Chain A
Amino acid sequence: MIEHRSHIYGVVGEFENEHQLIHAAEKAREAGYRRIEGYAPFPVEGLSEALGLKRNTVPLITLIGGLCGGLGGFGFQYWVNVSAYPLNVGGRPFNSWPAFIPVTFELTVLGAALSAVLGMLALNGLPQPYHPLFNVERFAKHATTDRFFLCIEARDKKFNLAEAARFLQGVDAHHVSEVRDD
């Protein structure tokens, strides 16, 4: 049985619209499932709450990236103008900080933007060349177009193939299919 299970990623049910998906996600959590994931072709309002997702760390990563960019940018200009290559231009102070602000600002934005995007991709585990869900034909065809999916994953403690499939049918999923991982 355990042998067989290792080839199953989970059970996925297809829904007609986003309201059914949110409803199913709420019911699944009520039924005690924790390893569940919704799939939608656009960001659905209320789905994160229904799945019980916590706040994500992308904003924090962005803040850190922005601070590094800004402090690094200013510090670098300070180092260049005061110690590495001091140049007297018309008697102005070496640390003529107002003149360093534009570059500091640009590097703050650059650091923040790069870390927002790379942070988001890294936390999402992308790029990911293979995912078992794409073995489900209807998922591969419709998940990024016009259908909504709820997957109960096999690593859920409560997972049982037949029960999970029955549960999904009970919340009006059509096309319930098992997701094979091999």
Chain B
Amino acid sequence: MSAGEPPINSPEIRRLAPVIEPGHTYGTVTDKISAIVLTRPASLGWFAGFTVSFCVVMMLTVALAWLIIKGVGIWGINVPIGWGFAIVNFVWWIGIGHAGTLISAILFLLNQKWRTSINRFAEAMTLFAVACAGIFPLIHTGRPWMAFYMFPYPSTMGLWPQFRSPLIWDVFAVSTYGTVSLLFWFVGLIPDLATLRDRAVSKPKQIVYGMLAMGWRGSARHWHRYQSAYLLLAGLATPLVLSVHTVVSFDFAIAIVPGWHTTIFPPYFVAGAIYSGFAMVLTIAIPLRKAYDLEDFITMRHLENMAMVMLATGLIVAYGYFFEFFMSKYSGNKFDLFLVDQRLHGPYNHYYFALILCNILTPQLLWFQKMRTSVPVLFVMSIIINIGMWLERFVIVVISLTRDFMPSAWGRYSATVWDYMTFVGTMGLFVMLLFLFVRVLPAISIAEMRELVAETSEEHK
């Protein structure tokens, strides 16, 4: 902090902490954001990052190709533990996506101005996370080329999907979620694509952005309908995002496996999804604002607000853990009791302790404002929380499946190198898509930033 600035924790200053630094006009926000895409040459750092993530994606393609050649036997899954890494990673990725929709839809409905500069890349993050998530259930079917069996289509065999199964609900929930997220993102992009079309100097860029902008010209009648559609999409995406992780939790909760068959799963999965999603938004936002000098737009206020959302959802998750524990004691069900014992004393207890450390203990530091406003602390913590949420899904999937009702059905699980390659590979895909995204599309909504400039200049009058 420079000497001239007032102390950040004085209540007046905190109330006025800006969502956009003063002095910006319609022209300057447009210039600054569109320049990243149109004029700024790609930095060495960008090429380095893109190259590394591209290599990781190549590793993913190797892992997937070998899987298709050999089958799921190359993974660590076995007979009691049929779900392994594929489902752990699927739930982890789809959860990460949830923060993007939460920021763009729920904070929009709540009229939270601070969402404006982070919603675009948070939505992009959602799409890329859903893309990574979608890979896992597909390849884990064993014969991914038969995956179309899960969709209702008039087959010559006269077969239809089993609509009473949560696995089919999942197909509908995730594909609807992917589609609606894409629509929401694209509708938000239309005015910005028009801006890029009008500002691009090279012919190919003008043509590509022009086709994507579909002839948008900012007409008042168009804006009028556009705003209705955007508001409706936000209203639709809100219950949708809550439903998606609820349906994912049904994959577990509908089964009778100890540790899965609980009614607390839907709310606790949704809170966990938002928790990990906000952590991922921070993981992306902190390097992004640094690399492209976007500190004026993604201010400390954004980072602190996200930290507070993480603290709140983290506490809900902690409450969920506590009640899993409590209900097994209170119900006296011996299988549930045994599962708790196995979490604490079983062969995978170090995963459980690491999970408590990452997800419950570390985030308590966020109660302190000094921690919430320290960029390095937030960055490290966001990564710790992401690890913690991955461990949570590991604990749920693996411990329950290795400790079923009958000792004869017990087993052990350890992932193989192919499991790790696939998991790390999807991270590479995610990062590579983000690198491409920041170069070809505006990472911050330009039209909404202009609106914010108009509103804040109104307040100053």
**Given A39-B217, A145-B26, A140–B198 Cβ distance below 8 Å?**
yes
Q: Are A145 and B247 closer than 8 Å at their CB atoms?
A: no
Name the interface residues of A11-58: CB closer than 8 Å to any CB of B.
18, 37-44, 47-48, 51, 53, 56, 58
Q: How many whole Å from B190's CB to the nearest CB in chain A?
A: 8
Q: Does A152 contact B (CB under 8 A)?
A: no
Return chain B residues, CB-CB under 8 Å to A117: 183, 186-187, 229, 233
Q: How many whole Å from B360's CB to the nearest CB in chain A?
A: 30
A: number of interface residues (CB 8 Å): 61
Which of B160, B197, B217 has a CB less than 8 Å from the CB of A133? B217
**Bound state CA distance, A42 and B222, in angstroms?**
11
**Bound state CA distance, A141 and B169, in angstroms?**
48
Q: Does B232 contact A (CB under 8 A)?
A: yes
Q: How many whole Å from A37's CB to the nearest CB in chain B?
A: 6
Which of B187, B220, B228 has a CB less than 8 Å from the CB of A47? B220
Which of A47, A59, A62, A145 has a CB less than 8 Å from the CB of B198? A145
Q: Are B191 and A129 closer than 8 Å at their CB atoms?
A: no
Q: Are A40 and B232 closer than 8 Å at their CB atoms?
A: no
Return chain A residues, CB-CB under 8 Å to B68: none
Interface 1/0 per residue, B170-202 and A, CB below 8 Å: 001100100110011011000100110111000
Q: Are B164 and A99 closer than 8 Å at their CB atoms?
A: yes
Q: How many whole Å from A165's CB to the nearest CB in chain B?
A: 20
**Bound state CA distance, A145 and B450, in angstroms?**
9
Return chain B residues, CB-CB under 8 Å to A133: 217
Which of B164, B224, B240 has a CB less than 8 Å from the CB of A109? B240
**Bound state CA distance, A80 and B165, in angstroms?**
14
Which of A42, A66, A105, A127 has the most chain B CB within a 10 Å cutoff? A42
Q: How many whole Å from B441's CB to the nearest CB in chain A?
A: 15
Return chain B residues, CB-CB under 8 Å to A107: 172, 176
**Given A85-B159, A127-B214, A109–B180 Cβ distance below 8 Å?**
yes
**Bound state CA distance, A51 and B223, in angstroms?**
12
Q: Does B243 contact A (CB under 8 A)?
A: yes
Return chain A residues, CB-CB under 8 Å to B229: 58, 62, 116-117, 119-120
Q: How many whole Å from A53's CB to the nearest CB in chain B?
A: 5
Which of A81, A92, A116, A131 has a CB less than 8 Å from the CB of B232? A116
Q: How many whole Å from A44's CB to the nearest CB in chain B?
A: 7
Q: Are A85 and B194 closer than 8 Å at their CB atoms?
A: no
Interface 1/0 per residue, B240-265 and A, CB below 8 Å: 10010001001000000000000000
**Given A110-B179, A114-B183, A40–B223 Cβ distance below 8 Å?**
yes
Q: How many whole Å from B180's CB to the nearest CB in chain A?
A: 5
Interface 1/0 per residue, B105-148 and A, CB below 8 Å: 00000000000000000000000000000000000000000000
A contacts, CB < 8 Å to B? 18, 37-44, 47-48, 51, 53, 56, 58-59, 62, 66, 76-77, 80-81, 84-85, 87, 89, 92, 96, 99-100, 102-103, 105-107, 109-110, 112-114, 116-117, 119-121, 123-124, 126-131, 133-134, 140-141, 143-146
29 A-B pairs with C-beta separation under 8 A: A37-B220, A38-B220, A41-B30, A41-B218, A42-B451, A42-B454, A43-B223, A58-B229, A76-B152, A80-B152, A81-B163, A84-B158, A85-B159, A89-B162, A102-B166, A102-B173, A109-B236, A109-B243, A116-B232, A120-B225, A124-B225, A126-B214, A126-B215, A129-B215, A131-B217, A144-B198, A144-B199, A145-B27, A145-B198
List the 7 closest A-B pairs by CB distance, nearest first.
Answer: A127-B214, A128-B215, A120-B229, A146-B26, A38-B220, A102-B169, A99-B164
B contacts, CB < 8 Å to A? 25-27, 30, 152, 158-164, 166, 168-169, 172-173, 176, 179-180, 183-184, 186-187, 191, 194-195, 197-199, 211, 214-229, 232-233, 236-237, 239-240, 243, 247, 250, 447-448, 450-451, 454
